[in-house]
Structure 1
Amino acid sequence: MERVNKILYNKKYKDLLNKLNEIEKERVFCKHNMEHFLDVARIAYIKVLEEGLNYNKEVIYAIALLHDMGRVLQYENGTPHEMGSITIAKDILDEIDFSLEEKELIIESIKDHRGEGSSQLSKIISKSDKLSRKCFICDSQKDCYWDKSKKNMEIII
């Protein structure tokens, strides 16, 4: 997990993560924090293993760590967060030794993480992002803007 840790300890990443944590400090709904990022990564990796797919664990974790970092830009200037996350991911990935093919897969999966996406991995990331939310124990569930059909009201994997 050397490359994932390079993301984790990247100065730009740490600064953005701190900024995101500060911005969302008073947020009552699901936060976009390290707990969420690691939940997405772990669920996605389990799904990849269960489906017998051949995706690199570090690629999955890189996607999860970077997929919502664009929230900072969304809060600051209204940039759609998936687009902001792509910009941020490209910048950070320039400093990490993933192959060009891996970087393209990471960027594609970040771009598609809010919908179904076109690749198997994009679909898994999107589903894992949603499954990571624990609506069944959320104190703000009744006030949440998510459509009832999207809420996770039981443990599903």
Structure 2
Amino acid sequence: GRSCSNDRKFFNPILPKADEPPRRAHSPFPGMQVRRWHPLGPAQFVTMDTRAPFVGVHSPRVALSAAAPRGIEQSGLDVRRGRRYTGYIYLRATPGAKVSVALLWGRGAQARQTITFPYVPAHFTRLPFHFTAGASDRHATFRVTGTGSGT
């Protein structure tokens, strides 16, 4: 399998696209595109938890809603049709929350693969997943969403 995400530890805060800081003209890593995470749903419901982060100084915390999915996403990923992408995510959730990860390789409900975790414990747990891209796309998106109450 291949990994298509280059920021897995959330060094940067998760900001709406309009609030992103400007990119530096001279990067220490020429040719590497920085792919930042952005809120999915209203931005005020995605915060950086500094009290109980998984690793580092902060981890994303999403205030859930039963009415609509909320979460985070990272776009600009390069995927190839038929290739399998394997990964894992560390999650914790309020009991009863429904959490999914998805790979989107185009527009429309058919241009994606979604994996819903049947249960996410209240403590950080490693949850594996894999996707097979249904089409090649240089601007694919990886999403983590949840519904329910709590975080």
Judging by fraction of residues, say which structure has more strand: 2
Instruction: State if a TM-score over 0.5 links the two structures.
Output: no
Q: Name the structure, 1 or 2, with higher relative contact order (CA <8 Å, separation 6+).
A: 2
Judging by fraction of residues, say which structure has more helix: 1
**Superposition TM-score, scaled by structure 1 size:** 0.27
